[in-house]
Chains A and B, each alone.
Chain A
Amino acid sequence: MGQDDVTGIISRGEELAYDLKIEQVMTREVKVVAPTTPIMRMLELFQEEHIRGVPVVSQNQLEGVITLENLLQSWRRGTHDSDIVADCMDQKMVTVNTFDPIIEALKVLTQTKSDQLTVIDKNGQLAGIITKGDVTRGLLSALQRDRHSEEVKRYRASYLFEDISSDRTSLILRYHIKARDFTKGGSASSSIKRALLQLGAPPQIARRCGIAIYEAEINLIIHTTNGGEIRVEIEPHQIVMETSDKGPGIENIELVMQPGYSTATDEIRALGFGAGMGLKNIQRCVDEMQLESIPDQGTKLVMKPKAGSKEWAFIREPTPNQGTKLVMKINLQPEDTFSKEIVTT
């Protein structure tokens, strides 16, 4: 894989590259050879195993490493049938430690232009090898875990509500959405969903919020004259998402709420929108939805997400091995919950 690919992944998984340890991604089951192995046997081994280098181990001690490069050099010098690995291996090998972050392995791989590095544990014993492939696979699966599992990293951001004391703390995210900008369309929603996950919202809640705000964002892009604003206010006990625009407004709220009703053009449909299901979908994802509009003046949509449980609060719970973990619970007060009604002005 090219250096560019590696760099590309790093830019997004940078944090992970510092967090993940080499031992989490390295290959443990490593083929090793004895220093007494005949050189002739080595070439066969490299071919059979599709590898380019193996560590040399004698009595459990790491002695060096032998690579295809070493073999070639030895051939250039003229090999004898009796030559053994010890005659041409590298004793000064490049090693990294199991406990180093994988960014370290990437740096060394790049600096030394090597295909693989030998990994040693804290006692200097061979622990495994690491290749660029191992690093990228490790990062990719970590990124995926990041996106899909409940073990999403609870970032520094989650301390916000814990450490700052006020009568009412909230985090407000604002975005300006341009009309007809389909290429950037959805990027605000993507940031909002990610922020919620970072703050410790359960994936299901984050998904519902993401879907609702995405439908609303796309509506700003498709249906408004000059785009509009998104405002999301996150509090320990509730999330309020709002979109507002300055026109053209909606004549008949009841009509646009009907599944399948859409004023989208064929052009818009070709882009994948205009099923007339957006507002209905928002209604399904949130507990409260308020759609207000004055024709020619503008539209305002307020969404309060549906809670998985009836509790909604940041509570810190100790986890067995890793310090503290933040759990977000949802607690809607009865008076907060009103039925899905649509307010028309």
Chain B
Amino acid sequence: MLIRDVLTLTQAQIFSPDSKSSLVEAVFDIDVQIGLSADLMSDVLLAESNRGLLVTGLINPQIIRTAEMSDIVAILLVRGKKPLTETCKLAQETGIPILGTKMSMFEACGRLHVAGLVSSFRQNS
């Protein structure tokens, strides 16, 4: 699923890169292959996450680090949350875009899933 579709489905906006930057256009075409949602980072790190979209209510820089470590390619913040300044800075540095929707986690994930974004399965350890 393309970020373009994620934006439409969840009526989301882009926090990073800056909306004035022409990088925004490139973000539309990023392809996400699985979805994960969590508010605890270890739960994210435990899941299959390659080329994933992370849906979360957390806004601190650790979401970017976590994404970086687990090859997550984009982050969607829920419940109208806005990322911290440091989070945006790190997002810019690492090239991981941050989107935001006013929807609840449940609603956002539900819509994405119905539209075909598959769930990351939890690996048995």
| A272, B46: Cβ atoms closer than 8 Å | no
Chain A residues bordering chain B, tally (CB within 8 A)? 45
Interface residue? B18 (CB, 8 A): yes
Interface residue? B8 (CB, 8 A): no
| B20, A2: Cβ atoms closer than 8 Å | yes
| B43, A277: Cβ atoms closer than 8 Å | yes
Interface residue? B51 (CB, 8 A): yes
| B45, A215: Cβ atoms closer than 8 Å | yes
Binds A, one of B34-42, B99-107, B108-116: B34-42
Distance in angstroms from A6 CB to nearest chain B CB is: 9
Q: Which residues of A contact B45 (CB under 8 A)?
A: 211, 214-215, 277, 281
Given A189-B69, A207-B69, A283-B125, A272:B23 Cβ within 8 A: no
Interface residues of A in 1-47 (CB under 8 A from B): 1-2, 5, 8-9, 12
Q: Is the interface of A mostly helix, strand, loop or mixed?
A: helix
| A207, B46: Cβ atoms closer than 8 Å | no
| B73, A148: Cβ atoms closer than 8 Å | yes
1/0 per position for A201-230, CB-CB distance to B under 8 A?
001000100110011001000000000000
Q: Which residues of A contact B73 (CB under 8 A)?
A: 144, 148
Chain B minimum-CB-distance residue to A276? B42
Interface residue? A101 (CB, 8 A): no
- Pick the contact of B70: A2, A207, A277 (CB < 8 A): A207
Seen from chain A, the residues whose Cβ lies within 8 Å of a Cβ on chain B are 1-2, 5, 8-9, 12, 132-133, 136-137, 140-141, 143-144, 147-148, 182-183, 185-187, 189-190, 193, 203, 207, 210-211, 214-215, 218, 259, 269, 271-278, 280-281, 283-284
| A-B interface, 3 closest residue pairs, ranked by CB to CB distance from nearest | A186-B65, A277-B42, A275-B40
Seen from chain B, the residues whose Cβ lies within 8 Å of a Cβ on chain A are 17-18, 20-23, 25-26, 30, 39-43, 45-46, 50-51, 56, 58, 60-63, 65-66, 68-71, 73, 86, 92-95, 123, 125
